[in-house]
């Protein structure tokens, strides 16, 4: 596979990741969110593999495999089980209505593009144009966390944010050194473990996973 | 980076006669060490309070005697000694320096500490020996510890020769006195007072620190720590604007501690609630240590050379003097009154310093040194008579368990010796010859009157006005202390309950006697005193007073020239004594008898002690006259069926400090308002928090 | 080799303690592990003092004057906290606030947390630093919710989410840094090592690095607790067990600030401007002023001191941003003394709230009479933290303020405002607690003396006398950070 | 030979003059007042008779009176007489004149007042306290004004020593000085207040509530009262002499001017003559004011004294601005 083609594929995958990020913002149903998240993970994994293949960097395959295992199978499955067991409400409530969220999202994408443009000039990598998408995904993940009220959706937002970071790592730099990659993966695993515990704790303490309950600690009278 | 870990003892050898006598700086350091060791050792005697008091305060007395002698010598010789201690930051060890100026303040401090330490032995026994109920039995361990730390802090401030050590000593002094103020900690009033005190002291300390920052930055730069030493600051030339900044920062910093209006609000709160021996020290010397700071920074480090700075000091001093004494007049709490009077006296000291700065800026060294000497004289005097008055007030409180003057009276019959000493204090503070207060005030007036026309018209207007206000202050303070002595010691006992009031113990009377004697001696022999402090004006403003002052021998004080002004306290004293003696003897000749009879009651036969003029009524005319300066609320409410013939009248008088309500409360309210606003930022909703972080990110990305 | 032992002790300790659980000697083992860590850190420090900066573990670890003192500090505070938590946690256990599992979890996670922080300090790798920071968060998240009360769970959740998001930003910054470094140093682990990066800092792409700094700032800034990213901090500090509050405040914030400063040095080197410094100054100032006012409104004793921690981190951040030898020296010292003082305060505050079975300050009274150690400890701790000499915090604030007066005189009024308001607020809150008569709801308690006394004595000594080795390190670190 | 004793003799003569002539001045004022009101007088020498009678009377002390009460008359008398030794009444060559300048002089009067006020409070009655309070109010306003007005003179003469001031004023060229005019006006007002004359106080009132000075010494009797009264008379005499010395010094012996130029004792007769003349005129002036004005309400007094204060300050300002 020649570089040009790989670049095209990466570009397409970047577009798909961005699309899924938007889809996460729009999606109202919680299982739908899980599916979209799994898809995003899959695109991520493929893009890592493609970059790895075209550049010949072996450790990217490991990253790709880790992503596939963690983000496409393990995490969605864990979440699925949790949602099922905790009998979480299936509909997602959001703080800001969806069209507004979409508009903000688009503004963010433009902003990310604008920000990364000087960097893109510098880069000689074939994946250089994807940095904007990575940044946009990070920001959209953050936006999702801000606009959702449920602990599970917040976590999904958080994970999608991490996806954006991972995408930045693979696309902008052809992957971080392996130690770092492994460490990051381990951290995400522990984090997943912890939020699992958390869901149970929150559930047993508050009888719901709606984080509206968790607004007691504040400075306002 | 020179003094890494080693001490450099560059003490000037003292002129010992054969035996090795420690140099003044070493002696003062020894005294500081004794205080610190006493403070550290005091908790060991926790379980034996009586011996704790005896040992700790005897040690303080001994240490202060050592310091007083050393300070005296340092001033007398005018030599400069320095020392470097191997502690502190490695590149900034503690620098110590004893010159005439610091020696003077060491002496004043140590002398009063000596008196007060002796006094404390008697005074504090009241705390432990007292039957529970009135004051309650309480441990005085913390008092002894912080008392020693407090004194050590004051001495260290005066010795410090670099910004860091200065600040440490300064705050040690503040913190120790804070704990002394809050000694009766179950008392809410004491906690509040201590809080205000500490807060204002800390604000002041930070201002001083910033001023040092300016000076250090411009003298040594911040490439290393050398700029922090006073010698570097002294040697540097600081450009105009920065000099003004440094001056005003430090001035207001020190003013906060000295109790200059409008930064005085802590003082009338803190002094009354502190144990009296502590109030005596706080008023008598701690305020002076703040003045020392002003003198050190403005004359020595900054070489103030702009008359406007002196003008500000002068005006602040005048305002403090007048406001202080007016508030003092309105008080019914004896210690609060004395506290306000301290504000007044600090004001007068500032007037002296301000004049000295003004004269110095026009290069009139003789007059500058005259005003400076007047200021230093007043510092000494105030330490003595205010210490004496506080000790007297403590003795009164000790016997009567009252602070409110409205419930005292006639104590001269029950505490005759205390009354005599207190009277001496009152006479001194009222600036009456032949006592000491008069001498300093006289010198100040001389400085005012001899001031030639300045090139600036504004000053020519301020100076006469200043003289007028100082005169007004002096007259008001006489009035104030007539009231104090009259209400507390004369007349008849106004108290509700008939307590047995007795004369206080020997230690307390002895201490007061010493202080009273000092007041008289300072009043009678000003020439010696001025000769002693001769080195200070020479050091600070480059002029001297002593030559002309003692031109006609020790009997006559002629600050400038005999034909300009002269004053001889001994002759005045002797003259009055002679006339009194003669009159006493001559009027005996007709051999008329003496008998006692009831007072003239104007035909109304049911006179009770409550009908006496009391403090409030005594001050009434002035409340009418100067009421607009104070915030006075006076209500008379008759009760009973017929308002024309009321059964009883309820009289309520509330005098509040305008400055407290005008300047401090709004600040406090604003702080709480802002705090509430900031509190609203923290909603408790995690989305909002995420939004903050998101917004921060975006903002930074946009602008960075 | 020392480093490996240093880190190994913690890992093994964590495992052993997880196995020991709630057995009788678990707290003692905990102390032992921490003491071993401390001793090895002292060895490490001696080595660095004698031989200068060193690389170890094939360039994986790097110790210089900047991180070695923080490592010793971390080990030391973790040791004293372990000593403190022996009595404290036993009391909690006896009064049924936590169960068996809780104790097991507490001890294991405590060691893991210390490991994470030491790793973050000692590693040479920016990526590993990030991982360690994340690990430090993760290991403490569940400790914050140890009591399982609704507010504890809420606090832990906020801590988890906010720090997670924050640290994710830092990862993005790391990616950008790698992106820039890779082009200069070449691909692979080498491009993430401080030692390599420092050497080539001048050749790194400035635009990328200033972009990266923004992400570092927001990322690690969240962990430092800079306003407006601080919202997790008061919650986490007030709801977790006191030993955890002590180490969060005393150590974690320092480590995060350490990471930020390391990044700042690189960015300054690359951009050649002082932009990063200005950003830090602004963050620092805001973080001084806002918490100072918030202090005025606190009701919860631990929350109060949490805000004070934010304020002090603001001071240190401001000083690092200000730069210059004196300010940087002051900032380094400030990190040290703040962490000693603040943990001592948390120790006493913890005991105070145990004595009154509440953290509500209006119910805590008469501490000096009730328990002189706790009362005076809290009083002196507050005096120290409020910047009264002769305690060490004053020394650092003295240096910082005087330097600020020279280099940024127009910012000092704001600085001053914050410091004064904080001072007022702290004393306003603390005086009614320490003074006065013993209230009826106070229970006698055997406090853990040693940690409080040792910390306060150290802070006192540092205020009067700065040991030569320490100041040499500081000077070297200052040169490093210029 | 005897020249070295001249100063001592002059001093002695001066003190004797103050002691002996003070009642005469009071008698003169009273007699003038009676004449002006068409009453018959008790004679010029009635004050002497009063004092002598009081000396021989028994003392009735208030039950509560302490030693302060008994010592006050002596202190008051001593301080006033000391002032008399300082003010150049007849000659500037009095040796004691150098012991105190004008500031100390004011302070000497302050001592007298301080003790009088204390004595007023000692008996423990409402009247005594009231008198003290009012007296101190008047004094606290009058004293600074007095200082300001003499300061104006001392600014002109560049000295605070009274003899020096007299010397400069009487030997220097005669210049009309607005500052001195202001100072004199102010001084006159203050002198009325300080010596307890109408319109501030009424020395012959018998209604306790209107008293100021009299209220303070209400409890005195016998020789104590005699001393107090005598001191009061001396005070009037001294204020008049001070006004003369500061504002109309021509004729005072010993400064070598054209009127009483001789330094020794020879100048004294002329000085006596001038003094008597000027005091007689001063008495006339006092009577003019006292018959022309009514006593003020007590709270009008501050305004009156405030005027004096303002005038004195204006005097100082005009010195700087106009001269």
ipTM score here? Answer: 0.90
Cα–Cα distances in Å, from C41 out to C77, C193, C253, D235, D282? 12, 22, 20, 88, 98
> Residue A4: its pLDDT value, please?
74
276-335 of C, contacting B, C-beta below 8 A: 279, 290, 293-294, 296-297, 324-327
For residue B671, the chain C residues in CB contact (below 8 A) are 293, 296, 421, 424
Gap between the Cα atoms of B246 and B294, Å rounded: 11
For residue C294, the chain B residues in CB contact (below 8 A) are 675, 678-679, 682
Gap between the Cα atoms of B103 and B536, Å rounded: 9
Selection from B466, B486, B484 nearest residue B474 by Cα? B466
Give the closest of D56, D63, D101 to B566, CB-based: D101
Selection from D5, D1, D11, D316 nearest residue D187 by Cα? D316
> Residue D84: is the preceding peptide bond cis (ω within 30°)?
no
Q: Do D78 and B575 touch (CB under 8 A)?
A: yes
Q: What is the mean pLDDT of residues C445-470?
A: 90
Three-class DSSP category at B156? helix
> Residue A66: its pLDDT value, please?
86
Query: In angstroms, what is the C-alpha Rg of chain D?
Result: 19
> Residue B443: its pLDDT value, please?
92
For residue A220, the chain B residues in CB contact (below 8 A) are 679-680, 682-684
Three-class DSSP category at C146? coil
Q: How far is CA C194 from the centre of its chain?
A: 22
Average pLDDT of chain C is: 90
Name the least confident of A178-187, B238-247, B291-300, C79-88: A178-187
The phi, psi pair for B636, rounded to 5°, reads: -120, 120
Instruction: Name the percent of chain C in helix, strand, coil, to the closest 5.
Output: 80, 0, 15
> Residue D255: its pLDDT value, please?
60
| Tokens 């504000």 found at | B343
Q: Do B442 and D118 touch (CB under 8 A)?
A: no
For residue C411, the chain B residues in CB contact (below 8 A) are none
**For C196-214, what is each residue's pLDDT tens digit?**
888 888 888 888 888 899 9
Name residues of chain D where pLDDT drops below 70. 1-4, 254-266
Mean pLDDT per segment of 10 residues, for chain B of length 704 residues? Answer: 34 49 89 94 87 92 94 90 84 89 94 95 79 56 93 95 92 93 88 92 92 84 76 85 91 93 89 91 94 93 87 94 92 92 95 93 89 94 95 89 85 91 94 91 88 78 85 91 92 75 87 94 91 89 79 78 83 91 85 81 76 84 82 82 80 84 89 90 86 91 81
> Residue B6: its pLDDT value, please?
32
545-574 of B, contacting D, C-beta below 8 A: 556, 562-568, 571-572
| Tokens 């995408």 found at | A167
B680 touches chain A (CB under 8 A): yes
D157 touches chain B (CB under 8 A): no
> Residue B135: its pLDDT value, please?
45
Cα–Cα distances in Å, from B650 out to B635, B638, B639, B645, D130? 8, 6, 8, 14, 21
For residue B700, the chain A residues in CB contact (below 8 A) are none
Confidence at C333, pLDDT banded by 50, 70, 90? very high
> Residue B260: its pLDDT value, please?
92
Closest CA–CA distance from residue B151 to any residue of chain C (Å): 15
Q: Do B686 and A219 touch (CB under 8 A)?
A: no
For residue B701, the chain A residues in CB contact (below 8 A) are 111, 115
The phi, psi pair for B289, rounded to 5°, reads: -65, -35
Q: Do B693 and C326 touch (CB under 8 A)?
A: no
| Tokens 């005669």 found at | D174
Q: Which residue has the higher pLDDT, C431 or C56?
A: C431
The phi, psi pair for D208, rounded to 5°, reads: -55, -40
Selection from D250, D89, D165, D242 nearest residue B564 by Cα? D165
**Spatial CB neighbours of C421, under 8 Å, sequence gap ≥ 6:** B671, C289, C292, C293, C295, C296
C368 touches chain B (CB under 8 A): yes
> Residue D88: its pLDDT value, please?
87
Q: Which chains touch C (3 or more CB pairs under 8 A)?
A: A, B
Structure tokens at B93: 């060890």
Per-residue DSSP letter, C61: E
Gap between the Cα atoms of B42 and B151, Å rounded: 15
Q: What is the mean pLDDT of residues C210-228?
A: 92
Query: Which of D71, D85, D113, D129 to mutate: most B Cβ within 10 Å?
Result: D129
Give the closest of B427, B467, B577 to D151, CB-based: B467
> Is C390 within a domain?
yes
> Is C143 within a domain?
no
Gap between the Cα atoms of B297 and B276, Å rounded: 31
- In contact, B678 and C293? CB cutoff 8 Å: yes
Number of domains into which chain D is organized: 1
Question: Alpha helix (H) ranges present in B296-364?
Answer: 307-330, 334-361
Gap between the Cα atoms of B316 and B318, Å rounded: 5
Question: Alpha helix (H) ranges present in chain D?
Answer: 6-37, 46-56, 67-86, 102-122, 126-157, 162-171, 178-194, 213-216, 222-247, 268-292, 301-322
Give the closest of B587, B599, B622 to D137, CB-based: B622
* Dihedral angle sign, alpha carbons of residues B217, B218, B224, B230: negative
220-239 of D, contacting B, C-beta below 8 A: 222-223, 226-227
Give the closest of C127, C154, C235 to A177, CB-based: C127
> Residue A88: is the preceding peptide bond cis (ω within 30°)?
no
* Dihedral angle sign, alpha carbons of residues C73, C76, C80, C82: positive
> Residue B2: its pLDDT value, please?
33
Per-residue DSSP letter, B554: T
Range of the domain at C481: 288-482
Helix axes D46-56, D222-247, angle to 10 degrees: 140
Q: What is the mean pLDDT of residues C442-462?
A: 91
Q: How far is CA D233 from the centre of its chain?
A: 8
| Tokens 């500031």 found at | D103
Burial class (CB in 10 A: 0-12, 13-18, 19+), C56: middle
> Is C188 within a domain?
no
| Buried/exposed code over C134-153 (b: 16+ C-beta within 10 A; e: otherwise) | bbbbbbbbbbbbbbeebbbb
With CA atoms as reference, the chain B residue closest to C380 would be: B175
Number of domains into which chain C is organized: 1
Selection from B496, B479, B476, B483 nearest residue B613 by Cα? B483
Q: Do D63 and B442 touch (CB under 8 A)?
A: no
C376 touches chain B (CB under 8 A): no
Instruction: Give the count of beta carbons closer than 10 Å to the beta carbon of residue C439.
Output: 15
Gap between the Cα atoms of A103 and A88, Å rounded: 29
For residue C436, the chain B residues in CB contact (below 8 A) are 185-186, 191
Gap between the Cα atoms of B197 and B188, Å rounded: 14
For residue C145, the chain A residues in CB contact (below 8 A) are 198, 201
Selection from C107, C5, C116, C111 nearest residue C56 by Cα? C5
CA dihedral angle for residue C40, residue C45, residue C50, residue C54, rounded to 10 degrees: 90
Gap between the Cα atoms of B545 and B560, Å rounded: 7
Structure tokens at C97: 């606030």
For residue C405, the chain B residues in CB contact (below 8 A) are 210, 213-214, 217
Range of the domain at D261: 2-322
């Amino acid at each position: 596979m020649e570089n040009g083609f790989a670049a095209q594929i990466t570009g397409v995958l970047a577009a798909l990741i961005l699309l899924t990020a938007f889809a996460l913002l729009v999606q109202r149903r919680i299982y739908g969110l899980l599916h979209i998240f799994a898809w995003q993970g899959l695109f991520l994994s493929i893009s890592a593999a493609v970059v790895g293949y075209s550049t010949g960097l072996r450790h990217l395959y490991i990253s790709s495999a880790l992503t596939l295992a963690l983000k496409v199978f393990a995490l969605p499955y864990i979440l699925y089980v949790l949602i099922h067991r905790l009998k979480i409400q299936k509909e997602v409530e959001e703080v800001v209505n969806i069209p507004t969220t979409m508009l903000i999202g688009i503004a963010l994408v433009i902003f990310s593009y604008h920000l990364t443009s000087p960097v893109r000039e510098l880069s000689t990598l074939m994946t250089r144009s994807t940095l904007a998408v990575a940044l946009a995904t990070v920001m959209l993940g953050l936006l999702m966390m801000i606009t959702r009220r449920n602990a599970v959706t917040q976590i999904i937002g958080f994970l999608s944010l991490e996806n954006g970071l991972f995408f930045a790592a693979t696309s902008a730099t052809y992957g971080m050194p392996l130690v770092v990659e492994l460490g990051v993966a381990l951290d995400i695993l522990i984090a997943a473990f912890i939020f699992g515990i958390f869901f149970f704790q929150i559930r047993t303490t508050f009888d719901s996973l709606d984080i509206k309950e968790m607004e007691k600690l504040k400075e306002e009278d | 980076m020179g003094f890494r870990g080693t001490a450099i003892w560059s003490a000037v050898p003292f002129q010992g006669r054969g035996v090795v006598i420690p140099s003044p700086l070493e002696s003062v350091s020894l005294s500081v060490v004794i205080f610190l060791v006493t403070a550290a050792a005091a908790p060991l005697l926790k379980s034996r309070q009586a011996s704790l008091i005896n040992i700790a305060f005897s040690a303080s007395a001994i240490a202060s005697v050592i310091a007083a002698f050393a300070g005296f010598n340092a001033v007398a010789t005018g030599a400069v000694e320095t020392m470097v201690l191997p502690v502190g930051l490695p590149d900034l060890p503690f620098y110590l320096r004893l010159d005439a100026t610091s020696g003077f303040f060491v002496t004043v401090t140590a002398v009063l500490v000596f008196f007060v330490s002796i006094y404390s032995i008697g005074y504090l026994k009241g705390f432990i020996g007292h039957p529970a109920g009135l004051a309650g039995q309480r441990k005085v361990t913390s008092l002894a510890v912080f008392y020693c730390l407090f004194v050590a802090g004051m001495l260290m401030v005066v010795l410090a020769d670099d910004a860091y050590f200065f600040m440490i000593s300064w705050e040690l002094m503040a913190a120790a006195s804070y704990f002394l103020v809050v000694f009766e900690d179950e008392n809410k009033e004491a906690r509040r007072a201590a809080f205000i005190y500490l807060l204002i002291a800390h604000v002041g300390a930070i201002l001083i620190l910033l001023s040092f920052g300016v000076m250090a930055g411009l003298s040594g730069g911040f490439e290393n720590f050398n700029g922090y030493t006073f010698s570097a600051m002294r040697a540097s030339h600081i450009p105009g604007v920065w000099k003004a900044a440094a001056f005003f920062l430090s001035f207001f910093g020190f003013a906060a501690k000295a109790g200059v209006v409008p930064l005085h609000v802590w003082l009338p709160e803190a002094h009354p609630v502190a144990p009296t021996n502590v109030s005596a020290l706080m008023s008598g010397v701690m305020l002076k240590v703040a003045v020392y700071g002003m003198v050190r920074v403005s004359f020595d480090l900054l070489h103030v050379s702009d008359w406007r700075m002196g003008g500000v000091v002068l005006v602040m001093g005048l305002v403090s003097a007048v406001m202080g004494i007016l508030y003092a007049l309105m008080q019914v709490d004896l210690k609060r009154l004395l506290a306000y009077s301290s504000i007044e006296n600090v004001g007068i000291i500032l007037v002296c310093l301000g004049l000295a700065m003004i004269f110095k800026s026009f290069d009139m060294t003789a007059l500058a040194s005259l005003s400076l000497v007047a200021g230093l004289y007043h510092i000494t005097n105030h330490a003595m008579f205010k210490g004496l008055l506080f000790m007297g007030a403590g003795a009164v409180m000790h016997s009567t368990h009252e602070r409110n003057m409205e419930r005292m009276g006639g104590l001269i019959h029950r505490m005759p010796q205390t009354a005599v000493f207190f009277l001496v204090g009152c006479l001194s503070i009222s600036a009456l010859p032949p006592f000491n207060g008069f001498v300093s005030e006289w010198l100040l007036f001389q400085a005012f009157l001899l001031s030639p026309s300045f090139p600036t018209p504004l000053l020519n207007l301020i100076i006469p006005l200043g003289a007028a206000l100082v005169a007004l202050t002096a007259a008001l303070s006489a009035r104030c202390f007539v009231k104090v002595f009259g209400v507390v010691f004369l007349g008849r006992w106004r108290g509700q309950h008939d307590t047995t009031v007795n004369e206080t113990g020997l230690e307390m009377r002895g201490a007061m006697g010493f202080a009273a004697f000092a007041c008289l001696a300072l009043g009678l022999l000003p020439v010696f005193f001025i000769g002693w402090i001769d080195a200070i004006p020479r050091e600070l403003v480059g002029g001297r007073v002593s030559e002309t002052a003692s031109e006609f021998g020790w009997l006559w004080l002629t600050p400038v020239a005999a034909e300009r002004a002269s004053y001889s306290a001994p002759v005045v004293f002797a003259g009055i004594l002679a006339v009194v003696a003669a009159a006493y003897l001559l009027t005996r000749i007709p051999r008329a008898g003496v008998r006692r009879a009831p007072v003239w009651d104007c035909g109304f036969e049911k006179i009770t002690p409550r009908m006496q003029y009391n403090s409030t009524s005594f001050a009434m005319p002035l409340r009418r006259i100067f009421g607009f300066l104070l915030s006075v609320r006076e209500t008379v409410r008759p009760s009973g069926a017929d308002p024309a013939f009321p059964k009883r009248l309820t009289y309520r008088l509330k005098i509040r400090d305008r400055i407290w309500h005008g300047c401090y409360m709004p600040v406090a309210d604003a702080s709480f308002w802002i705090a509430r606003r900031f509190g609203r930022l923290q909603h408790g909703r995690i989305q909002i928090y995420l939004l903050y972080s998101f917004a921060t990110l975006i903002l930074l990305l946009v602008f960075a | 080799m020392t480093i490996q032992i240093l880190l190994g002790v913690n890992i093994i300790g964590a495992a052993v303690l997880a196995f020991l659980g709630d057995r009788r000697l678990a707290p003692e083992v905990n102390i032992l592990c921490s003491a071993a860590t401390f001793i090895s850190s002292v060895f490490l420090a001696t080595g660095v003092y004698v031989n200068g900066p060193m690389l170890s573990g094939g360039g994986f670890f790097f110790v210089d004057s900047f991180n070695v003192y923080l490592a010793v500090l971390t080990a030391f505070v973790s040791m004293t906290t372990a000593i403190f938590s022996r009595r404290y946690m036993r009391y909690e256990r006896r009064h049924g606030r936590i169960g068996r599992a809780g104790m097991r979890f507490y001890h294991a996670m405590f060691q893991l947390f210390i490991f994470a922080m030491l790793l973050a300090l000692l590693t040479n790798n920016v990526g590993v630093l990030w991982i360690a920071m994340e690990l430090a968060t993760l290991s403490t998240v569940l400790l914050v919710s140890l009591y399982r009360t609704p507010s504890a769970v809420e606090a832990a959740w906020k801590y988890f989410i906010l720090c997670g998001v924050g640290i994710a930003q830092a990862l993005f910054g790391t990616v950008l840094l790698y992106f820039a470094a890779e082009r200069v140093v070449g691909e692979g682990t080498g491009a993430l090592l401080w030692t390599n990066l420092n050497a080539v800092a001048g050749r790194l792409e400035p635009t990328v690095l200033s972009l990266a700094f923004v992400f570092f700032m927001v990322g690690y800034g969240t962990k430092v607790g800079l306003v407006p990213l601080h919202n997790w901090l008061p919650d986490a500090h007030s709801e977790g067990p006191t030993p955890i509050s002590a180490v969060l405040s005393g150590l974690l914030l320092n480590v995060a600030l350490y990471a930020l400063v390391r990044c700042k040095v690189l960015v300054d080197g690359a951009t050649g401007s002082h932009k990063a410094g200005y950003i830090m100054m602004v963050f620092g100032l805001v973080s001084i002023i806002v918490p100072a006012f918030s202090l005025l409104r606190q009701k919860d004793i631990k929350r109060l001191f949490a805000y004070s921690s934010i304020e002090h981190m603001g001071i240190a951040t401001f000083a690092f941003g200000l730069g210059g030898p004196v300010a940087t020296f002051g900032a380094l010292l400030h990190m040290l003394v703040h962490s000693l003082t603040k943990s001592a305060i948390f120790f006493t505050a913890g005991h105070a709230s145990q004595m009154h079975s509440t953290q509500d300050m209006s119910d805590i009274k008469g501490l000096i009479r009730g328990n002189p150690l706790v009362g005076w400890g809290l009083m002196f701790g507050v005096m120290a933290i409020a910047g009264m000499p002769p305690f060490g915090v004053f020394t650092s604030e003295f240096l910082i303020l005087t330097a600020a007066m020279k280099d940024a005189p127009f910012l000092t009024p704001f600085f001053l405002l914050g410091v004064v308001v904080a001072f007022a607020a702290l004393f306003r809150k603390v005086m009614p607690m320490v003074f006065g008569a013993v209230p009826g709801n106070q229970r006698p308690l055997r406090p853990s003396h040693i940690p409080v006394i040792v910390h306060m004595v150290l802070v006192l000594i540092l205020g009067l006398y700065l040991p030569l080795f320490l100041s040499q390190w500081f000077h070297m670190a200052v040169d490093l950070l210029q | 030979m005897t020249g070295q004793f001249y100063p001592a003799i002059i001093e002695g003569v001066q003190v004797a003059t103050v002691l002996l002539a003070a009642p005469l001045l009071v008698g003169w004022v009273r007699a003038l007042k009676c004449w002006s009101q068409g009453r018959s007088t008790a004679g010029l020498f009635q004050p002497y008779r009063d004092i002598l009678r009081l000396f021989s009377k028994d003392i009735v002390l208030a039950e509560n009176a302490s030693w302060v009460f008994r010592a006050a008359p002596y202190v008051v008398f001593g301080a006033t007489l000391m002032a008399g030794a300082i003010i150049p009444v007849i000659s500037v060559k009095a040796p004691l004149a150098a012991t105190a300048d004008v500031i100390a002089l004011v302070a000497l009067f302050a001592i007298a007042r301080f003790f009088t006020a204390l004595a007023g409070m000692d008996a423990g009655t409402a009247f005594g306290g009231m008198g003290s309070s009012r007296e101190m109010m008047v004094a606290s306003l009058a004293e600074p004004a007095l200082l300001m007005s003499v300061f104006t003179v001392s600014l002109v003469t560049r000295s605070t020593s009274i003899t020096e001031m007299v010397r400069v004023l009487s030997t220097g060229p005669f210049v009309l000085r607005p500052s001195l005019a202001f100072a004199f006006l102010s001084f006159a007002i203050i002198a009325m207040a300080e010596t307890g004359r109408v319109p501030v106080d009424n020395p012959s009132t018998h209604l306790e509530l209107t008293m100021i000075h009299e209220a303070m010494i209400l409890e005195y009797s016998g020789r104590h009262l005699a001393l107090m009264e005598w001191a009061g008379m001396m005070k009037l005499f001294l204020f008049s002499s001070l006004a003369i010395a500061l504002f109309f010094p021509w004729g005072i012996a010993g400064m070598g001017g054209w009127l009483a130029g001789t330094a020794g004792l020879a100048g004294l007769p002329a000085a006596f003559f001038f003094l008597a003349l000027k005091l007689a005129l001063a008495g006339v002036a006092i009577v003019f004011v006292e018959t022309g004005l009514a006593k003020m309400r007590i709270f009008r007094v501050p305004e009156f004294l405030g005027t004096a204060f303002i005038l004195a300050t204006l005097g100082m300002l005009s010195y700087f601005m106009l001269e």
